[in-house]
Amino acid sequence: MRMDFDSAVLHYIFELTEIFLRPFFNSFNNFLSPFIITTSEWNKPWLILSRLLIKVPINFAAFIVLFAPAFVSFCLRIILYRFKKPYILSCVDDIYSLHGNENTIYNTRSGLRSGLRGQEKLFSTFSVATLNVCLLPEALSRFNNLECLAKEIGERLVIDQMHYGSLSPRDLASKVNHVLHRKNAEKFEPLEAGVNVHFPELDFLCIQECFHRGCSKKLLKELHKVYPWIIYDVGVFSWRSNYYGFNSGLMFASRHPILNIDFKYFPVSCGTCAMACKGLLMTKVLLNEKTPGSKREVGYIYVTHLQAFDGEKVVTLKQLQCILEWTISFRRKTTGSDKVLCDIICGDFNFDNISPGDKKCCQHDLFTVYADVCRETLGKDRVWAVGTEMRPLYVKKEEVMTPEGLQRILKDPCLRENYVINADIQFCSLSIMYSHPKKDKHGNIVTTPAGGKRRIDLILCRNDCPLRIESYNFVSRLADLTDHIPVVMSFTCDG
């Protein structure tokens, strides 16, 4: 594991400040939490009252006692942040996994899985997932009607990789009877799409909202059971980037060696997002080693999280322009003589293709360089595409508390509208977090073409990289743990 400082002394001083800061922030967090009630607690007044009478005074007292040492530690951290790296790359030497029906060892030095006979296997088909895990301090998670459950999220991901990873996306898919042919159809295979309960074997995980440092480390520990390379604690801490608040929340896990890394934070942000160092995490990964007479084969994977609740401001448009410029620059500086097989952007874009208020964002030049597989035309998604932003007030409903239940809801357009936000946003504000489905005077849901279609979690493919999209699926595996629907894409590179 590479440390967050070049100097071990600075690293240990930074960790020392954590001893004073973590109890302080925990007490403040626990003081606020009882005042923010989740829907699962509405019918438990005794629990709410006991927390108010016991947790509030105890944590308030702890907050007062710990304030002075925490303030000194925070001031020390401000100085240390000047020397802190913008990310940590955590790497393990060897990791055992099950690949197909064959026990294999994943050697991080070569990046190639070797079979029992020691024969190297070259890869041409890969899978990538984007997921917003909402790992926030409890008080903030409760605004989303959630709890910080990093270990549970990691366990579900790892279990699927160990027990379902040998199955292809085609085996796992809950199929819909639609086949998509993208532009330049001669270069692309038909796409199969649907809603799955389980994740297929994933080569890359692009994660957002890992804001809670302690929870991120729990998730890191779980993911390292499968993924040798993980980038976490991504962000630049300064008054300009985040007011010394939260990091970017981005994390990237890979089965393949990471060759180059860079992170840039968005120079413009507003509202609560100004407290987080949101930006673009850029990685170059080794897909296949160089063989005699051929070039080394690499891929570019970018992870991002854009401005939320932009309103009438043009912040999101400026951030999209930054992404376009940064991806071009990063690729130009790092490609060298390598052969690029794929170039993909994943993340939470916080706007959808259908909402009238998001039209300008969808018209940005980024979408001429990169293709959104789910988009049929501007303002219209493919018929099989579903929304990925759930109504926070409904994530704890019994019907969507299990992966199987959430899958059933997502596959039904009428039921989905009750639990997923509609893509009819005119003005993006915090009010959409507390929106309810439209109902008639009899209490029946009024279905609309944009019902349950707010799809803000995207996987974009660069147009000049000839990929064959094998499958594109929405996964219900993290039901009850996050208010976003993970998205998975499997693709074959034309070598």
364 is catalytic: no
Distance CA 154, CA 216 (A): 10
Strand pairing category for 191-196 and 467-475: parallel
B/e letters for 433-459, b = 16+ CB within 10 Å, e = fewer, are beeebeeeeeeebebeebbbbbbbbbb
Crossing angle for the helix pair 150-163 and 213-223, nearest 10 degrees? Answer: 10
Please report, as a single letter, which amino acid is at residue 3: M
The phi, psi pair for 106, rounded to 5°, reads -100, 110
The phi, psi pair for 134, rounded to 5°, reads 55, 45
The DSSP element (H or E) to which 403 belongs, if any, is helix 403-411
Joined tokens for residue 479: 């039901």
48: exposed, middle or buried (Cβ count in 10 Å: 0-12, 13-18, 19+): middle
Q: How far is CA 400 from CA 36, 209, 436, 450, in A?
A: 22, 21, 16, 20
Please report, as a single letter, which amino acid is at residue 421: I
Q: What residues contact 78, with CB distance under 8 A and at least 6 apart?
A: 244
CA-atom Rg of the chain in angstroms: 23
Distance CA 80, CA 86 (A): 12
- DSSP state string for 320-358: HHHHHHHHHHHHHHH-TTPEEEEEEEEEE-S--SS-GGG
Joined tokens for residue 199: 């994740």
Distance CA 89, CA 221 (A): 13
Strand pairing category for 339-348 and 297-305: parallel
Of the candidates 212, 256, 305, 484, the residue annotated as catalytic is 484
The 3-state DSSP class for residue 119 equals coil
- Residues facing 125 on adjacent strands: 492
The catalytic residues are 484
